[in-house]
Each structure stands twice: as C-alpha cells, then as structure tokens.
C-alpha cells in the first residue's frame, strides 16, 4: 500500500476528539495526517497543500493554484454537499479525484426550511420586535402553513425531505426537477412556470450549475403570487439577489428567507437583501447542527478510507 500525506485544510466543526480518533486510525494504517488553521489566501493554501497526496476541506473555496502546483495531489475530499467552490474541471484534467459528503445535512436543511416558512407566514420577526417595544399583535395576524401549496425546485434528497415535512403540515406539494420524479413520492411534477404561478411558498433546493445560475430573476419573480414567499437554502447565485430585493421592496411578493448568497458571509453592509422588507437572512446555517457536522465528518473520513482501501481508484463526484 502506498503511504499518503493527508492534510486537513480547515476545521470541520467537530470536537478535537473526533479528529484525533481519525488521525490515530490513519497513523495505524501508516499514513501521515496534518491539520491546518483555515486560511483562504491562495499562497497559504498552496504552502499547506504542496506535498499532500490528499487534501480535506469543507466549504472554503479552493484556489485553482493548488490544483496546478500540488504535484502529489491525488484526492480532494470535500466535507460538504456542493462542490462549486472546488475547481473540479481542473482537477479532473489532472486525474485528481473529487468526492463530497452527500446526505449529512438533509434533516438540518429541511427543518430550517419549514421553520422559515412558519416564521414568515406568522410574521414572527415583526411581532417579536413589536413585543419588545411593549406592543401587541394588532394588524400583524399571520397565516397557517396548513393548506398551502409548496413548490420545490430541485427534488433531490433535501427537496424530497422538505416536501415530506410540508405534507405532514397538510400542504400540497408540487415540484420542478430536470429529471423525472418517481410518482410514488407524493410530489406532482410541473414545469417551472406553473410552479412559480401556483405556489404559495417556493423552496429552492437545486445545485448551482451553469444552467441554474440566475435561474430565478426579475422575470421569474413576476410570475409569483403577491402573497407568495421564497426560501433559498441551496446556493445564493441561483436567485438574483437584487431582483428579489426589488420585488420585496415593491410588495410584489410577501416575503423571503435566504440562508445563502453569491458569496459566503460575512456580507458587505450594502447587500440588497440585508435591507429588504419581510426578509429573513441567516449566514449559511442550514447545514450546521451539532448532529449534522458530526455526521459530515464521519462521511468525509469514510470517503477517505474507501478511497485508500480501493487502491486510489478514481471515483466520480457525487451530489445530492
């Protein structure tokens, strides 16, 4: 067996004991394992990765110079579902395997989506601010989630789980997906235009690709009902932030919740969605629960062990 130098470029949000347990196992297998403080600067990434056979990271954007200059690199083990922050095409050209941690955040993201729906429908932000000022709920009576039509954009694992929770609340669920959705999972598959026009709530769960970038812009937002709300926990660039903020400012839709943006938070203070009305903004928290982060670490290390034990055969990138 070829001995490998494995470098973890950033923390995984789990206890030191978890990392130490896996480090000890890798050492027993004869490999070396190193951890680094997170540093997104390209030069720091390059220095940390230069002699590595394997690098592990979460959602820190990986600079393309690492792919070009890290001559020993054979595997990029991504402890995250999406890989749009990784230069995948460059890696594939050099025969470098890229694997991701699909599935760890399904429950966490789906639960937060439903929370966003209820908070917006019941005007939680407005009423709690009024309560703090000694006011009442007068004029701020909200709506039930029960009976609403929820449109799911992207019927992968997270989209399907969100749909299941919505059905438990008594919602009708429709979905847009590029591939055919099995008929037995309780979602009516419709065209995008129909979904936008029929839905009371739209929840975005598709990956960011060349086809989905800017998929929901000004023209698409005009198709929404005035009382509709939009939830985005997928990728920020799928939705045109400026167009969404303008629709909210004009009262063309009722509300939005965004956990993702064009760039990872912290956001610049003039970002349009930080100032739009009836908008919940969170700094990319949907995936982040204690339970999910622990599961994410286990999936990432399991991917590493599988690759090592398979004799370093190339594996396809998997996303869900």
pLDDT single digits (tens) 190-234: 999 999 999 999 999 999 999 999 999 999 999 999 999 999 999
The CA distance from 187 to 152, in Å, is 9
- Single out the residue of 203, 171, 205, 174 nearest to residue 190, CA to CA: 174
CA dihedral sign of residues 184, 185, 190, 191: negative
284 as an active site residue: the answer is yes
68 as an active site residue: the answer is no
* Extended beta strands in 100-220, E state: 149-153, 172-176, 188-189, 201-204
Residues 6+ apart with CB under 8 A from 269: none
pTM of the complete model = 0.86
| β-sheet bridge partners, residue 35 | 8
With a cut of 90, say whether residue 64 has pLDDT above it: yes
pLDDT grade for 186, boundaries at 50, 70 and 90: confident
User: What pLDDT is attached to residue 318?
Assistant: 47
Mean pLDDT (whole number) for 289-318: 83
- DSSP, collapsed to helix, strand or coil, labels residue 232 as strand
pLDDT single digits (tens) 89-118: 999 999 999 999 989 999 999 999 999 999
With a cut of 80, say whether residue 151 has pLDDT above it: yes
Q: Which of 161, 235, 271, 296 is catalytic?
A: 235
Q: Which of 69, 107, 262, 264 is catalytic?
A: 264
pLDDT single digits (tens) 167-180: 999 999 999 999 99
User: What pLDDT is attached to residue 316?
Assistant: 46
User: What pLDDT is attached to residue 313?
Assistant: 44
Q: Which of 50, 68, 167, 284 is catalytic?
A: 284
The CA distance from 113 to 165, in Å, is 10
Give the least confident one: 8-12, 79-83, 150-154.
79-83
Q: Residue 33 CA to chain centroid, in angstroms? A: 28
Q: Residue 251 CA to chain centroid, in angstroms? A: 27
Mean of the per-residue pLDDT values of the chain = 95
């Amino acid at each position: 067996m070829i001995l490998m130098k494995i470098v973890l470029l950033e923390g995984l949000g789990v206890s030191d004991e978890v990392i130490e347990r896996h480090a000890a196992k890798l050492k027993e297998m004869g490999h070396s394992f190193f951890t680094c403080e997170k540093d997104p600067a390209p030069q720091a990434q390059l220095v940390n990765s230069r002699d590595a056979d394997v690098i592990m990271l979460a959602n820190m954007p990986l600079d393309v110079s690492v792919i070009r200059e890290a001559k020993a690199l054979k595997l990029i083990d991504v402890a995250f579902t999406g890989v749009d922050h990784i230069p995948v095409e460059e890696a594939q050209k050099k025969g470098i395997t890229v694997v991701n941690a699909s599935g760890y955040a399904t429950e966490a993201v789906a639960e937060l989506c439903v929370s966003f729906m209820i908070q917006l429908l019941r005007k939680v932000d407005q009423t709690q601010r009024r309560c703090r000022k000694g006011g009442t709920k007068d004029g701020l009576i909200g709506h039930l989630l029960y009976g609403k039509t929820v449109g799911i954009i992207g019927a992968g694992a997270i989209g399907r789980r969100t749909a299941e929770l919505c059905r438990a609340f008594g919602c009708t669920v429709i979905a847009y997906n590029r591939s055919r959705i099995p008929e037995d999972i309780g979602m009516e598959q419709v065209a995008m235009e129909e979904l936008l026009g029929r839905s009371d709530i739209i929840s975005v769960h598709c990956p960011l690709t060349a086809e989905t970038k800017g998929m929901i812009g000004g023209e698409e937002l005009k198709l929404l009902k005035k009382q509709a709300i939009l939830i985005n926990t997928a990728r920020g660039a799928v939705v045109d932030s400026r167009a969404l903020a303008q629709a909210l400012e004009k009262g063309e839709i009722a509300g939005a919740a965004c956990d993702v943006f064009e760039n990872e938070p912290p956001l610049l203070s003039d970002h349009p969605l930080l100032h739009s009305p009836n908008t919940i903004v969170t700094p990319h928290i949907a995936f982040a629960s204690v339970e999910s982060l622990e599961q994410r670490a286990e999936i990432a290390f399991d991917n590493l062990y599988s690759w090592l034990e398979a004799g370093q055969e190339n594996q396809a990138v998997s996303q869900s």
